[in-house]
Chain A
Amino acid sequence: MGGKILLAGIEIPGIRGFDVYRANGGYAAVEKALREMTPAQVNAEVTRSGLRGRGGAGFPTGLKWSFLDRKSDKPRYLICNADESEPGTFKDRYLMHHLPHRLIEGLIISSFALGVKTCYIYIRGEFKYLVGVLEKAIAEAHHHGYLGEHILKTDFSLNIYVHPGAGAYICGEETALLESLEGKRGNPRIKPPFPAFKGLYGCPTVVNNVETLATVGPIIGMGGEEYSKLGKGKSTGTKLISACGNINNPGVYEIELGLPVEDFIYAPEYCNGIANDKYLKAVIPGGSSVPILPADLILSTAKGEKRLMSYESLSEGDFLTGTMLGSGGFIVFDEDACIVRNTWNLAHFYRHESCGQCSPCREGTGWMEKVLYKIEHGQGKMSDIDLLVRISKNIEGNTICPLGDAAAWPVASAIRHFRHEFEEHVLHPAEVLEKERRLSASFAV
């Protein structure tokens, strides 16, 4: 299964340091880009590679870069979005922890392509230990002349700064991130204007995910054409998937897009099947905000085709029978998992993380959480289930930023596919609570 591109060399001891990384072919792509290519050529390679944003939306990176306002005489900024806070997603943390130089390399090449002189890594506040790792890597790159003034004796200069956030999920939304970086309250901005025209300090800005930017190095190294041969269809290349839940081998895996979901769950080199010989019940394949799918729909589409780990295949059937690849936070539930409890847990998270700026999200997330709490704790009514559907429908699409959608989708999809479980909670609360109590007791050894 597809060679390790992004995580290549991760097993080598000391790869976190500059010398070992350099000795294993690191920074060759930077030299290639800066010495042999023009910024336009780098842009063209990235476009040719078909790389899509790895943060969740899957927007083509080359196209996003082409939107940048290049006519403006203001400085441009590149921002690396390392505010990875989606429940179930921990791929960026893994990448930055083990291969910080792969990210720095990608940032140098991307900044060169975009004509950026200042680049910020906006890192999640809880990743405090990673700030040191990244700052050490930046200092090493500075010391060896890959950062600072006149990199590799060319006209290109670049400085990278690490900026830790204060621990808000919403600051992963690109405009809230910009506000936070400017030192303001992390409220998403109202678009338009888009960051490509008016971003950080009112200047043209590109915001990309850690994995997206780290992939730019290997793309330049191997060529965009070669990279686009990996994967399937419009989902080119490889993707980091962070698998967790009731599986035998949780962890971060680099897969070639187009891998069948069944193989990913059951193959020994990946998740290696469901833990304790239980059955697969449901999967949230792309981080907590994407719709949950029951076992039959995650393994094959409604049309009976094999479901693949790719942007297109996972969204086959739209939200009725499909979901999204999202950020690659693969959460697996076994037969014992309570979907209602899980949905309540997620609703609780989104209520806590809503910024409170626009009314549907501020009020709606709290309302959903309260109703789900009632159902989970045996005080629900049948009409509450339809009420949840109505609230999620009213939030969806009516908010400033996608957090409203992210809060509404898990609830709507859980009811769509597991309505019987909600009904069981309402009709037989005593039995359900007793079952859950017994299960949680069996775990607490």
Chain B
Amino acid sequence: MFKVTIDNQQVDVEEGTTILQAARMIGGKVVPPAMCYYSKLRGSGGKCRTCLVKVAQSSAKDPRPMPKLVASCSTPVQDGMVVQNLTSPEVVEARKAIVEFLLLNHPLDCPVCDQAGECDLQDLSFRYGMEETGSEEDRREFPVTDIGDKIKLHMNRCILCYRCVYTADQLTDKRLHGVLYRGDVSEIGTFIQQAVTNNFSGNMIDVCPVGALTDKTFRFKSRVWFLNPMNAHRDCPSCSGNVTAWMFGNEIYRVTGRKNQYGELEEFICNECRFEKKDPGDWVIEGPRHIKRQSVISANHYERMKKQSVIKPIEGIMEDPE
């Protein structure tokens, strides 16, 4: 077991754990944000650089700090490592810069984007970003590509996290899309226009941190915060059938996988559950899902406050009001 200190909080972790995973074991505000890392996808991470942290002490044996900020999602911990996340001004500055870079060519069309309200980039810029940017340039635009009748690709919003590529690689039998070209014109596409049809391809929508991949069956139907996310299940031959049904009254507007507190799917679901089963009769509704208080979806949803959710200072750090 390795002892790691992150923002003055100590945790014991197994060898081979990354800094980000160790931070998630502590929980709360010490967890660096992650836009490209996805714990269930092998090889993901290291690309968006939002999870950069400062290693003030490499290990107990080698107390020197690491010369550069490191990506916490892909750096394994050492015994006696001391990591600074929010306690390092350098990290806070770098994170502001990264948010600025990510938003540089993002169209900011949140008012018409289906992802708004559950968008990781929205949350990230709200928490860590600056109020204004120095950029006056035109934003990058891509021609519209059609990748099938179920998934809408909106390349202008993409932050090239590669999550959907890994999903298609690791979940489906054949990947039909990938990253084309390079640099700031690189884009997600199928190259020769064809539909992404695999039965598990819909999970690309759920892993996408922004509104680049959205559900065509739910397009412009409703804002997510008007809907009630309900746990539901059905007997599905190809997946677990455990889903979140987004309901308005007795109608199911859309079906997604169940996401945990870091926005990652607990289980991947099949396209049949996601796109075809919109009749409440298809599902056994279990009950409402817990919603984070700070989420826009929680507006007008009243829950009994739990004891822990009272804000209490722990060593100068506010606990996340989960």
Contact = CB atoms under 8 A, between A and B. Distances in A.
A357 interface: yes
A108 B210 CA distance: 51
A48 to B, nearest CB: 27
Interface stretch (B94-102, B191-199, B245-253): B94-102
Contacts of A383: 134
B182 A190 contact: no
Interface string B33-49: 00000000000011111
B183 A365 contact: yes
B68 interface: yes
B182 A354 contact: yes
A268 interface: no
Nearest to B43: A190
Which range holds the interface residue count of chain A? 20 to 34
B236 interface: no
A387 interface: yes
A365 B184 contact: yes
A400 B47 CA distance: 7
A145 interface: no
B69 interface: yes
A398 B68 CA distance: 7
Given A351-B183, A355-B183, A192 B76 contact: yes
Given A358-B46, A359-B159, A190 B74 contact: yes
A394 interface: yes
Contacts of A367: 101, 104, 135, 137
Interface in A326-373: 351-360, 362-367, 370-371
B184 A356 contact: yes
B151 interface: no
Interface string B133-148: 0110100100000000
B82 interface: no
B94 A363 contact: no
B94 A398 contact: yes
B233 to A, nearest CB: 37
A370 B137 contact: yes
B39 to A, nearest CB: 16
Contacts, number: 95
A355 B184 CA distance: 8
Nearest to A373: B137
A358 B182 contact: no
B183 A352 contact: yes
B126 to A, nearest CB: 18
B151 to A, nearest CB: 22
Contact of A366 (B45, B75, B100, B184): B184
Contacts of B47: 357-359, 400
A363 B49 CA distance: 12
Contacts of A387: 134
A185 interface: yes
A394 B97 contact: yes
Contacts of A185: 178-179
A353 B182 CA distance: 7
B75 to A, nearest CB: 8
Greatest chain B CB density within 10 A among A363, A365, A391 is at: A363
A362 B160 CA distance: 10
Nearest to B46: A190
A355 B182 CA distance: 5
B83 interface: no
Interface of A: 168, 170, 185, 190, 192, 351-360, 362-367, 370-371, 383, 387, 390-391, 394, 397-400
Q: List 7 tightest A-B contacts by C-beta distance, closest first.
A: A394-B97, A356-B186, A190-B46, A366-B184, A363-B101, A354-B183, A363-B104
Given A356-B181, A357-B162, A365-B183, 11 more contacts: A190-B71, A353-B182, A356-B179, A356-B184, A362-B183, A362-B186, A364-B101, A383-B134, A397-B69, A400-B49, A400-B71
26 contacts: A168-B182, A170-B182, A190-B45, A353-B182, A353-B183, A354-B183, A354-B184, A355-B183, A356-B160, A356-B185, A359-B47, A359-B50, A359-B159, A359-B160, A360-B97, A360-B101, A363-B102, A363-B105, A365-B184, A366-B183, A367-B135, A371-B137, A383-B134, A397-B69, A398-B94, A400-B49
